[in-house]
Amino acid sequence: MAVIGVSTSQDNHPANVIYNKNHLRYPVKTFPVNPKGGILNREKLYPGVEDIQEDIDVAVIAVRAEYVPGVVEQCIQKGVGGAVIISGGFAESGNLSLQQRVVDIAKEASFPFVGPNCLGIYAPDYMDTFFLPGERIIRPDKGNVGFVSQSGGVLVDQMVKFAGQGIGISLAVSIGNKACIRETDMLDWLDQDLETKVIAFYIEGFEKGEGRQFIEKVEQCSKPVIVLKAGKSKKGIEAVSSHTASLAGDYRVFSEIMKQHCVAEADNEYELTSFCEALSCYPKGINGNIGIITLSGGHGVIAADACELHGIPIPGIDPATIGIIKEKLSSGIRNIVSLANPLDLTGSSTDSDIVTTARHLSRDGNIDCIMALLIPYSPGISTDIGAKLSQVARNEGKPMIAYVPNEDKYKIIIEGFELNNIPVASSVEGAVLMAKALMRCRPC
């Protein structure tokens, strides 16, 4: 990696942050470039990318906008594989001609680049072109969600949410003005990436006809695709234009088309997080009928309301299933439970009651997915309940979604699910949103 624009006087310059981070923390061999040359922290500063003796896979360009075309030409002459253009001051600032000049230079040489006006690429364990100090950014673990965003700020904020929810990422890319590499290119690449199982996008807008092309590629994609679309309102559309110079387009039309083609559209960042977690565990989706097990009647009511709001069916339970479950429950709760759907086992239930109910509910032909709303402070619940219910899901082959409060003292329960690839929500609403994601991405 060559980082072009490293400063000899400003330690917090974006290029310096990027250089120091990759040079000190990642396996990628990193070379600093400054026209003056010299020494920086005992490392040689190269006057130009052509002065570096080794082959360069990627150049990170963080110089003033007017210098970018010349730097791109130098990279092409050097035979650099591609670039991340961090620099701003292009189409988003009304400087369309300068951006087009960079595009023309790159296109003639088949030179790919991300940006401009972006954070670039975060590839866990490999490289990080975000110009954010390493001690401030929160990084999710390596995982199977690929996330592409026009906004660097949304991408970084989403990484915080992913880390808090235990969602790992395979790749995170901020494409900014997307003057060269666009959503459709990233969709093609992530579809072929063996480490990516779910593909998520934050999209502000498309060029004319590009939305259709995106949907056509989604249809051919072998993995679930999630979209958080910005620019839904009049003011939002105006903000999109000033942010990344994109055309927001007619949101209602695009939203309806996404529904028709089984794209999971997230209404907000919270939904995006829930969708990514659910689909990273169950990429094929479900038909939608939910069987809810709860230890609290109130939680069951909240879940039922949320399911109805989001169009998720809660069917009746087969009377034979109800009979088997009731027969096998502990004698102390057998006559106080409610076995309508949601099934309220009360706070007096034990691990055995919950596991028995989940096992036989999974065998009910009316049910496509089990939602287990756990209240871990109930006295009969052990820290093994997550692992035990995961075993049921594995043995019965039916998807399961869990709700457990996201507190350190319940971490063992949460890990019992997550280590077995069962999605865990930190709220009842979050669990319902996971079910919504699975319905949206079922085969059309």
Is 252 exposed, middle or buried, given 0-12, 13-18 or 19+ CB atoms closer than 10 A? Answer: exposed
pLDDT exceeds cutoff 90 at 116: yes
CA-wise closest residue to 222 among 195, 203, 197: 197
Please tell me the least confidently modeled range out of 111-115, 163-167, 370-374, 440-444.
Answer: 440-444
CA-wise closest residue to 71 among 5, 17, 9, 16: 5
Is 267 exposed, middle or buried, given 0-12, 13-18 or 19+ CB atoms closer than 10 A? Answer: middle
Q: What is the pLDDT of residues 275-297, one digit of tens each?
A: 999 999 998 888 789 999 999 99
Contacts of 168 (CB under 8 A, 6+ apart): 124, 140, 141, 142, 143, 144, 145, 162, 280
Q: What is the pLDDT of residues 35-94, one digit of tens each?
A: 999 888 889 999 999 999 999 999 999 999 999 999 999 999 999 999 999 999 999 999
Contacts of 408 (CB under 8 A, 6+ apart): none
- State the pLDDT at residue 370: 98
pLDDT exceeds cutoff 50 at 439: yes
Is 101 exposed, middle or buried, given 0-12, 13-18 or 19+ CB atoms closer than 10 A? Answer: middle
Q: Which amino acid is at 27?
A: P
Q: Which amino acid is at 79?
A: G
pLDDT exceeds cutoff 50 at 154: yes
Q: Which residue has the higher pLDDT, 3 or 241?
A: 3
Binning pLDDT at 50, 70 and 90, where does residue 136 land?
confident
Q: Which residue has the higher pLDDT, 239 or 187?
A: 187
216: left (phi over 0), alpha (psi -120 to 50) or beta: alpha
- State the pLDDT at residue 156: 96
In whole angstroms, give the CA distance from residue 143 to residue 165: 12
Degrees to nearest 5, angle at CA 40 with 39 and 44: 50
Query: Per-residue DSSP letters for 199-236?
Result: EEEEE----TTHHHHHHHHHHH-SS-EEEEE---SHHH
* Cross-strand partners of 59: 2, 83
CA-wise closest residue to 378 among 350, 356, 402, 404: 350
pLDDT exceeds cutoff 80 at 9: yes
Contacts of 105 (CB under 8 A, 6+ apart): 69, 72, 73, 76, 111
**Domains of the chain and CATH, by start:** 1-116 (3.40.50.720), 138-281 (3.40.50.261), 285-440 (3.40.50.261)
Mean pLDDT of the region 248-260: 77
- State the pLDDT at residue 33: 98
CA-wise closest residue to 19 among 54, 44, 50, 51: 44
* Cross-strand partners of 145: 169, 198
pLDDT exceeds cutoff 70 at 443: no
Tokens 């695009």 sit at which residue? 254
pLDDT exceeds cutoff 50 at 444: no
The model carries a pTM of 0.89
In whole angstroms, give the CA distance from residue 254 to residue 228: 12
Q: What is the pLDDT of residues 201-225, one digit of tens each?
A: 999 988 888 888 999 999 999 999 9
- State the pLDDT at residue 235: 62
In whole angstroms, give the CA distance from residue 153 to residue 88: 14
Q: What is the pLDDT of residues 316-369, one digit of tens each?
A: 999 999 999 999 999 999 999 999 999 999 999 999 999 999 999 999 999 999
- State the pLDDT at residue 236: 54
pLDDT exceeds cutoff 90 at 419: yes
Contacts of 71 (CB under 8 A, 6+ apart): 4, 49, 59, 61, 63
Please tell me the least confidently modeled range out of 128-142, 243-257, 282-296, 348-362.
Answer: 243-257
Average pLDDT along the chain: 93
Q: Which amino acid is at 113?
A: F
pLDDT exceeds cutoff 70 at 254: yes
